[in-house]
Structure 1
Amino acid sequence: MPDDPTTPRTAAAADSHSLIEVRGARENNLRDISLDLPKRRLTVFTGVSGSGKSSLVFGTIAAESQRLINETYTAFIQSFMPSQSRPDVDALHGLSAAIVVDQERMTANSRSTVGTVTDAFTMLRIVFSRLSTPYVGPATSFSFNSPEGMCPRCEGTGHVTDIDIDQLVDRDLSLNGGAITVPNFSVGNWYWQVMAQSGLYDPDRPLRDFTEREWDDFLNKPATKVSAGSLNTTYEGLLVKVRRIFLAKDRDALQPHIRAFVDRAVVFTTCPECDGSRLAEAPRSATVHGRTLPECAALQISDLAEVVRGIDDPSVAPLLASLRGLLDSLTDIGLGYLSLDRPSGTLSGGEAQRVKMVRHLGSSLTDVTYVFDEPTTGLHPHDIQRMNGLLLSLRDKGNTVLVVEHKPEVIAIADHVVDLGPGAGAAGGQLCYAGDIAGLRASGTLTGRHLGHRARLKEKVRTPTGALTVKGADLHNLRDVTVDFPLGVLTAVTGVAGSGKSSLVHGYLAKEDGVVVADQSPIRGSRRSNPATYTGLLGPIRNAFAKANGVRAALFSANSEGACPRCNGIGLVYTDLAMMAGVASVCEQCEGKRFTPEVLAYTLHGRNIGEVLDMAVEEAAEVFTGGQARAILRRLSDVGLGYVRLGQPLTTLSGGERQRLKLAIHMAQESSVYVLDEPTTGLHLADVDQLLALLDRLVDDGNTVVVIEHHQAVMARADHIIDIGPGGGHDGGQVVFTGSPAELVAAGETLTARHLRTYVGG
């Protein structure tokens, strides 16, 4: 039974200054939850996917903290801020300022790098401004974001845009033969006529036979008056005209076929002047201890830390100490394989979260509530130990740390555990347990029962039916890797973060014919998309509504005739606040139901289309029991998405949920090679068993499954393991083991072998 939140457990607990008190939380599926959370402690929230963890931690506690902070601003300032409604909760007491450290990818701004977002590059710039030979100037002189520091050619971005000429023309053809492949330049078109009749070159001669002068006129001649046939007009070289009529316009304003052409034709190349360093000549060539700033920024962070240790100068001693501490923290958290010049937009969600975490470690703030969303995502068991240390460091600075997590290694270090459930969606939202870890183990809850659960090592593995061979792989840190991926079996690709797993699998295996990739990347589409539209489930549902009511099926699409005219079928009205974050509010006309009242009057099995789209997959499976709808719903349940609502916007799904949704779609195809990227992300310990059963079923049906995975249960149940390492960055990139899980446990000496050995032995 959960602790009674109204009964003080200790004298300290009775003090309201030591508790966050939650009373009557009903956000989303929460069922009137009341509980106390100890402040300045580490609390881990557990429960199956969809049990209500995020609704409690992010949607209630963190959201109300942010709303109350916003209310301290003047009404004028608040008018420029996103409007935040009060969470559905009776009372919240003892809140402190909440900082959410989530897995949202960082900005794709081309000027943002690991060095700029962590301030490590700022510190390095100051060191160079004080110690460089020759002396260049103040710290801004070493900044690629300042006019005095940036390369004048690329303006500090490190790359320049160029046009791939071979996407514009076929050099083997003449103009009369259709050599120009640019939209609106086909033979006979006005643009084509001006060029073909300009008299600057022979329109019957293949382009590759043009003289140097003719080729330059054809491509680069500036606007010039010419006689084209009987008309006097203006001639422009092809490149000049393409830049003016296509590239000078907003990409999103272009017609789709022209936008596709622009995407093909425009390429980004490394700036030839600064060689991608982004800096002007003086700052990029000045040295400290024989190294330039671009050389330092390109070093692996763990190596840069050693370089900085070798710099000893009293004038910058405090700064060097801070920089060393920051670089060591990045290394300790498992990011030592990154470099400061790595664009922040290229980081994975897990990497981005860990970078944000390190930033907060150096903060002088205390008594803050830090909220983390599965901080172990993307981490090898070896790296989880380091993550735990950082979570405890934040707590020991006097902060309250709230963590949504499934990994038993993190649950084990908690001062307090809150377990929600017992199921997902409508079957969840209840407080199953609140207390210490020992009490959780004895509680009899689903989480408590699985804490000590271990997947058994697979002793008899499947026999491969063949192999896909990758030869000479050298992408990123891979070192001329040649390896076989066996067919007809379940293969786990393992290794610490940054070892080269993704480079090998996504860079090579995923490009082979017949390979289907289901990863955690955002699903293309707008905020209108949902599981029903993405999987094709809406089609049979619309047809069933139409048949039952004798009307057109298009009425039951929120993207077509039946859509609410006020919100265009989105259910929300978005207000653009220019430079501020946009505001979304529930449409007042349809009250978020997305359809017109006339459409909502039609029913099927006693429900209207809005009510059907609000159903969870498992509930819908009880209503739609035949045909295509039944098959799609069954696959969604098989991949563990039974709790997801049919009309839930895809933008609200986690990375793990997106991956499982993609897998559900691909399962309808003929036998293939499936590539999955950490499919256990976001899964409760009990759900991992269900996933393993699904993977086994896929293989037994004649498929090949390759998973990039850190979860030891998946490793133990695999037929074959490919371990990449031995470390991350330049310490990785090699195949350090291939074979069965039993062979790895028996004879392996890698980090993966040691942790798997402990897992199956524990």
Structure 2
Amino acid sequence: MGSKATEKKLVAASAVPDCVEIRGARQNNLKGIDVDLPLGKLTVVTGPSGSGKSSLAFETIYAEGQRRYVETFSPYMRQFLDRMDKPRVDDIRGIPPAIAIEQSNPVKTSRSTVGTMTEINDYLKLLWPRITHAFCPSCGREIRPETAKSIADEIFRIFADNPHLNPLPRKGEEGAERQVRVESNATARTALITFWIAVPAKTKPSDFFNFLQQQGYLRVWIGDEVVRVDTDQKIKRLGARVQVIQDRITVSEENRARLVEAIETALRFGKGKVNVVPITEKENAQRPTPNVERSTNHRSLITNHELPFSTGWHCAHCDLDIRAPTAGLFSFNNPLGACPGCRGFGRTIAIDLNKAIPDRSLNIKQGVVRVFRGAEFGESQKDLLRACAREEIDINVPFEELPKSDQDFVIEGEKRSGDYSDDDYENDRWYGVRGFFRWLESKTYKMHVRVLLSRYRAYTTCPRCNGGRFQSETLNYKIVAAVYDRRDGAHRAPLQLSLPEFQALSISDARDFLAKIDIVPNDSTAQMLRNEIWARLSYLCDVGVGYLTLDRSTRTLSGGEVQRVNLTTCLGASLVNALFVMDEPSVGLHPRDVSQLVRVMYNLRDKGNTLLVVEHEEQIIRAADNLIDIGPGRGERGGELVWNGSLDDFLGGAGAAPAVLCASGNTSRNKNVFGEASKTIREGACGAEDRHRRSRFAAPASTTSRTSTSIFHLASSHASPAFQVLESPPSFTTCSIGIFCARKVSHPIRNRARVSR
């Protein structure tokens, strides 16, 4: 029984394919070739331009892999997916789901950015609410929701650190945080716990005080003084709100429970807001008893002595609410976070004054406003001349030489701002160039008006968000990180960045900033989000696009940049057992960054994926696990399989093996790669500037077919078994892997090997 089970396991293991078998590929100029593509390897396809590399990689292998994968979905799902035509091939076996990463930039919308394309923005909108710090847009103080316990702890800290309390700084002064200053001749150990309560309109102070007595409250805080409500006070008027004293407590450890209880009660009646008023002996001794509340509005009633707290996203000092941090607030694709002016696009379409007034050297009389020159809107030119006569504006002076006020009058009109009504037009008020176009925009139901407006419109940076795409409430939340100066390594002050500011950093700087963020150790979710973002940013740096920014519009990227960004997306998705087909990912990449690109492809391969890369870069060809060369020529002269194997096997013939590939019985269509390679090396074509050069060098006319035959016999006698698999050597034209032959061939052969046409 055991032996039978073992046999079944061996049979099952042997049934798992280790390569993709392509049989009889005839797509485009392919001549029915048979190719085995090893799975889990990095395979590079080389050959002259037009030889059939893309026909094999994309239109045959990728097309079939994608078509078969789509067929696994239900008919309902397939109607939403692009389906490719079945390639001209006899059979393909063992092909995994395929993903194509091409050079073209298919993105046309302005809403797509590098951050959305790599899905980094999706992680950022989840990370930001967890680790962000809120700041008041008015006073700049940090806002954080408090609890009764945290408020009590803060009171104990303040009283412990500062036994002598002086008034807190006013808004705009230095030290706007919750800090106190020391005064040597005053001691504070007592605090008033108060909360605000609204006073109904037209309510007499006596009636309001009677209401407080019925609720059990006998003291209020008015005009920086404690006022009893059960005595005859001469208060003539109350403000919109009054602070009711919940308790007066000596700050000490034995009163901690009482303090927390008083704060909880004050928060409940104060709707999440409470004030703590430190009372000093000096204040108690010097304060007279007032009888009239000072005339102030409800916001300025928060005196400089008070420590306001709130349990919500609320600045207690400014009495200003901000929106709670949610994922939607940090996404410009969500109405909650998108700028209302540009709706998350970062730019708006508006009238371009440079198009409306293209030549400012003209004067008003000559028709400096272009749209007023024609007969259709000539009446507006007359309106402008009459308005200039009333304002005594010289119409014979070039427009650019007019005073700024006169130019603004012509452009903005008499109102300078706002819309003009029909009465304004009837009363001969000058409406300005902008007012004229606003009037035109009300007539856009007419086709010719829409065409006219399109001539004077242009995209401009959104003035409300300055191109950041987010609304103003998103800017209230910032992440704080301790950064270092790269020049001297000295520690700098903590850097605070909002989400638009973070996305405006280069990818390399954003990665460094993210590494300096402090996250609470027990917040595993935030740690995971930060690690995922950091990994994707590192991938982008590895593929050589660390100079990009996350807010860079995808439609402005080059084909090579889009391909490398897509490669990062695939790495971040952690796909396994997939086939990735890439089209020259090294295009536009600096030679020093090619090695990083190779490491990225190795990383993708090591996860269990198969990579099929159409490439001409020498470093990538040398890094390949397997080489497929298509040739020998281009067009009708191509489409044949020249080589399929590893580079080591290709170079393992000790100089003779490549000659097998270079010779052919049909010498009229042959060229010797050694002649080209040696000439390329002599001319220094191995430099970075000639890495993609694949020119064809003509063979000398004196070369005969007999020379080719002698080289073939010499090479076949020393050929390794890997080369002897080929029954007859195919004709070989300028090949990307041919340059490596010259480095393995002895000097006499390299000089003598020539094949005539």
TM-score between the two structures when normalised by the length of structure 1: 0.53
Distance 1:202 1:43, change over 3 A: same
Distance 1:200 1:74, change over 3 A: farther
Residue 468 (structure 2) aligns with: 277
Q: Provide structure 2 residue ranges, at least 5 long, that are not aligned to the other structure.
A: 1-10, 135-143, 145-323, 481-495, 652-656, 663-671, 697-733, 741-757
Residue 216 (structure 1) aligns with: 412
Residue 332 (structure 1) aligns with: 542
Cα deviation, residue 112, structure 1: 1.7
**Structure 1 residue 358 and structure 2 residue 560: aligned?**
no
Give me the whole-angstrom Cα distance separating, in 2, the residues matched to 1:43 and 1:493.
23
Distance 1:192 1:254, change over 3 A: closer
**Structure 1 residue 67 and structure 2 residue 67: aligned?**
yes
**1:196 maps to which of 379, 382, 386:** 382
Cα deviation, residue 443, structure 1: 3.7
Residue 110 (structure 1) aligns with: 110
Residues 380-418 of structure 1 show CA distances to partners (whole Å, capped at 9, x for unaligned) of 222111111111111111111111111221121222211
Distance 1:15 1:374, change over 3 A: farther
Distance 1:75 1:191, change over 3 A: same
Residue 371 (structure 1) aligns with: 581
Residue 404 (structure 1) aligns with: 614
Percent identical among aligned pairs is 34
Residue 729 (structure 1) aligns with: none
Residue 143 (structure 1) aligns with: 331
242-251 or 269-278, which moves further after superposition? 242-251
**2:649 maps to which of 417, 439, 459:** 439
> Contact 2:677/2:738 (CA < 8 Å) preserved in 1?
no
Give me the whole-angstrom Cα distance separating, in 2, the residues matched to 1:494 and 1:458.
12
> Contact 2:411/2:432 (CA < 8 Å) preserved in 1?
no
Give me the whole-angstrom Cα distance separating, in 2, the residues matched to 1:443 and 1:246.
72
3-state SS, counterpart of residue 544 of structure 2: helix
Residues 224-270 of structure 1 show CA distances to partners (whole Å, capped at 9, x for unaligned) of 36899xxx99997543554665899799x8899x68x946x434333
Distance 1:247 1:439, change over 3 A: farther
Distance 1:437 1:305, change over 3 A: same
**Structure 1 residue 311 and structure 2 residue 517: aligned?**
yes
Give me the whole-angstrom Cα distance separating, in 2, the residues matched to 1:338 and 1:113.
11
Residue 128 (structure 1) aligns with: 128
**Structure 1 residue 154 and structure 2 residue 348: aligned?**
no
Residue 21 (structure 1) aligns with: 21
Residues 567-620 of structure 1 show CA distances to partners (whole Å, capped at 9, x for unaligned) of xxxxxxxxxxxxxxxxxxxxxxxxxxxxxxxxxxxxxxxxxxxxxxxxxxxxxx
Q: In structure 2, what residue type is equivalent to 1:201?
A: A
Q: Which runs of structure 2 are paired with 1:187-586 in the superposition (5 Å)? A: 187=374, 189-196=375-382, 201=387, 205-206=395-396, 208=399, 215-217=411-413, 222=420, 224=422, 238-242=433-437, 262=454, 265-289=456-480, 290-313=496-519, 314=521, 315=523, 316-441=526-651, 442-444=657-659, 445=661, 455-456=680-681
> Contact 1:195/1:235 (CA < 8 Å) preserved in 2?
no
Residues 705-759 of structure 1 show CA distances to partners (whole Å, capped at 9, x for unaligned) of xxxxxxxxxxxxxxxxxxxxxxxxxxxxxxxxxxxxxxxxxxxxxxxxxxxxxxx
Cα deviation, residue 456, structure 1: 4.7
Q: In structure 2, what residue type is equivalent to 1:288?
A: I
Give me the whole-angstrom Cα distance separating, in 2, the residues matched to 1:297 and 1:141.
15
Q: Which runs of structure 2 are paired with 1:6-85 in the superposition (5 Å)? A: 15=15, 17-79=17-79, 81-82=81-82, 84-85=84-85
> Contact 1:114/1:339 (CA < 8 Å) preserved in 2?
yes
Give the greater-gyration-radius structure (CA). Answer: 2
**Structure 1 residue 186 and structure 2 residue 373: aligned?**
yes
Residue 744 (structure 2) aligns with: none
> Contact 2:21/2:93 (CA < 8 Å) preserved in 1?
yes
> Contact 1:106/1:347 (CA < 8 Å) preserved in 2?
no
> Contact 1:97/1:368 (CA < 8 Å) preserved in 2?
yes
3-state SS, counterpart of residue 630 of structure 2: strand
> Contact 1:20/1:37 (CA < 8 Å) preserved in 2?
yes
Give me the whole-angstrom Cα distance separating, in 2, the residues matched to 1:243 and 1:493.
56
Give me the whole-angstrom Cα distance separating, in 2, the residues matched to 1:58 and 1:130.
43
Give me the whole-angstrom Cα distance separating, in 1, the residues matched to 2:87 and 2:97.
16
> Contact 1:224/1:234 (CA < 8 Å) preserved in 2?
no
3-state SS, counterpart of residue 563 of structure 2: helix
> Contact 1:52/1:429 (CA < 8 Å) preserved in 2?
yes
The Cα RMSD (Å) is 4.5
Q: Which has the higher contact order (CA 8 A, sep 6+)?
A: 2
Distance 1:91 1:235, change over 3 A: farther
TM-score between the two structures when normalised by the length of structure 2: 0.53
> Contact 1:440/1:448 (CA < 8 Å) preserved in 2?
no
3-state SS, counterpart of residue 190 of structure 1: coil
Q: Provide structure 1 residue ranges, at least 5 long, that are not aligned to the other structure.
A: 1-10, 460-489, 496-519, 521-637, 641-682, 690-762
Distance 1:317 1:21, change over 3 A: same
Residue 366 (structure 2) aligns with: 177
Q: In structure 2, what residue type is equivalent to 1:63?
A: A
Cα deviation, residue 165, structure 1: 2.1
Distance 1:337 1:419, change over 3 A: same
> Contact 1:29/1:429 (CA < 8 Å) preserved in 2?
yes
> Contact 1:301/1:327 (CA < 8 Å) preserved in 2?
yes
Q: In structure 1, what residue type is equivalent to 2:329?
A: S
Give me the whole-angstrom Cα distance separating, in 2, the residues matched to 1:41 and 1:195.
73
Residues 92-121 of structure 1 show CA distances to partners (whole Å, capped at 9, x for unaligned) of 111111000111225242222212211223
Give me the whole-angstrom Cα distance separating, in 1, the residues matched to 2:407 and 2:553.
42
Give me the whole-angstrom Cα distance separating, in 2, the residues matched to 1:450 and 1:345.
44
Give me the whole-angstrom Cα distance separating, in 1, the residues matched to 2:384 and 2:423.
10
> Contact 1:433/1:443 (CA < 8 Å) preserved in 2?
no
Give me the whole-angstrom Cα distance separating, in 2, the residues matched to 1:295 and 1:143.
14
> Contact 2:383/2:430 (CA < 8 Å) preserved in 1?
no
Q: In structure 2, what residue type is equivalent to 1:132?
A: T
Give me the whole-angstrom Cα distance separating, in 2, the residues matched to 1:43 and 1:419.
10
Cα deviation, residue 163, structure 1: 2.9
Distance 1:243 1:433, change over 3 A: farther
Give me the whole-angstrom Cα distance separating, in 2, the residues matched to 1:159 and 1:273.
10
Residues 631-683 of structure 1 show CA distances to partners (whole Å, capped at 9, x for unaligned) of xxxxxxx998xxxxxxxxxxxxxxxxxxxxxxxxxxxxxxxxxxxxxxxxxx9
Cα deviation, residue 278, structure 1: 2.0
Cα deviation, residue 178, structure 1: 3.1
Q: In structure 2, what residue type is equivalent to 1:152?
A: P
Q: How many residues align?
A: 460
Distance 1:330 1:254, change over 3 A: farther
Give me the whole-angstrom Cα distance separating, in 2, the residues matched to 1:281 and 1:379.
38
Distance 1:12 1:72, change over 3 A: closer
Cα deviation, residue 31, structure 1: 0.6
Give me the whole-angstrom Cα distance separating, in 2, the residues matched to 1:494 and 1:434.
28
Give me the whole-angstrom Cα distance separating, in 2, the residues matched to 1:12 and 1:434.
27
> Contact 2:511/2:534 (CA < 8 Å) preserved in 1?
yes
Residue 253 (structure 2) aligns with: none
